[in-house]
Amino acid sequence: MADIFFKARLIEAWGRGTIKITGGCKKVGLPEPEFKEEFGGFAVYFYKDIYLDLSLKKMELNERQIRAVMFVKQNGKITNKKYQHICDTSERTATRDLSGLVSLEILEQIGTTGKGTEYVLRRHKDAKDVIKTP
C-alpha cells in the first residue's frame, strides 16, 4: 500500500513521516509520540506535557529527580535545601542531581551557587514560535 501512495505522490518515502513527527515534537519541546499497532490499526499518541512521569523515566532520571520535577511543576520552584528535604538526601547528592537536571535542560538555575539559588522548569519554545506557516 505504501508503494501505491508513494507512486501517487501522497507520501514522500516509507517511514519518513514518523521521523518527521518525532523530530517536530522534539523541536517544540514536547515528548516523543508513541506509535502503536492496536485493534488491527495504527495509532499515534501525542502528549502535551514533557514533564510527565513516563517521559521523565524515558529520560533515565532517577526517582529523586522525578520527584523534584513533579515538585517544581506543582510549586513553581525548588532549592537545594528543599530537594534534600523532600528526597531525604545529602547536600552533595542534591547538588549533583539538580546539576544533572540543568544539564538536561529540564530545570533552569536562577541565581549563582548559595542560599539564593532556585531551580525552575526550563521554558520551552511554544509551537507557534517554531513552526512557520507559509
pLDDT in tens, 8-33: 877 776 667 788 888 888 777 677 78
Pick the CATH number of 53-121 from 1.20.120.640, 1.10.10.10, 1.10.490.20, 3.40.1080.10: 1.10.10.10
Instruction: Round the CA-based radius of gyration of the chain to a whole number and report it.
Output: 20
Confidence of residue 129 (pLDDT cuts 50, 70, 90): very low
pLDDT in tens, 27-79: 776 777 888 888 888 888 887 766 777 778 878 899 999 999 999 988 999 99
Mean pLDDT for the stretch of residues 104-117: 84
Helix axes 63-75, 80-87, angle to 10 degrees: 120
Are 39 and 46 in contact, with CB atoms under 8 Å apart? no
Cell numbers 513552526: residue: 131
CA distance linking residue 31 with residue 25, whole number of Å? 6
**Structural domain spans, the chain:** 2-45, 53-121
Percent of the chain surpassing pLDDT 90? 35
Confidence of residue 131 (pLDDT cuts 50, 70, 90): very low
Specify the pLDDT at position 14. 64
CA distance linking residue 129 with residue 14, whole number of Å? 29
Specify the pLDDT at position 58. 79
Are 80 and 90 in contact, with CB atoms under 8 Å apart? no
Would the pLDDT of 7 be above 70?
yes
